[in-house]
A and B are shown apart, each in its own frame.
Chain A
Amino acid sequence: KAGVTQTPRYLIKTRGQQVTLSCSPISGHRSVSWYQQTPGQGLQFLFEYFSETQRNKGNFPGRFSGRQFSNSRSEMNVSTLELGDSALYLCASSLRWGIEQYFGPGTRLTVT
């Protein structure tokens, strides 16, 4: 079975711009979650989608949004980028919420 894939792997953007990251979950997995990883902060939960609906949300500002398509693929959007948004963004999929998740390799976003 193919694993979780994320595109692009690396991205450099300028403050004020917006960015869209993409995630394709493992086939059959309908729950897709997004995390932000920064040095010293571990993985911080952004949100979770299941059947095209956002069901769970972490403590991030509204500049961070996402969506899920009917084939379970998900996108995450960050608007009005700030320097502090520089991080590794990880997507994870699972059969359902609350059980072990399978992570993609991440997208490394650098905001200059």
Chain B
Amino acid sequence: LAKTTQPISMDSYEGQEVNITCSHNNIATNDYITWYQQFPSQGPRFIIQGYKTKVTNEVASLFIPADRKSSTLSLPRVSLSDTAVYYCLVGGMDSGYALNFGKGTSLLVTP
């Protein structure tokens, strides 16, 4: 299974754009890159998934370079309610769609 590395923590002010980068050097050809958000005492919530290039939805964008060895989750104009842990996962058919969560990035948004 591909291992992911992401910063342990990040701080931001309200209204700023936040970019969280994840490294996954051993990503397999068929692996997806997926990001989840988790608030304390709640189950993780799916944010965005991509395979290559750029994906955007109503809450975030995911940038994936051509070599796919890293990815960046971009959260535009964060608010206090975006304070949470963000997990980057890689996986797909070859790994039986395993969902292996690392330690995640703890994002703190302050006024």
* A, B in one complex: no
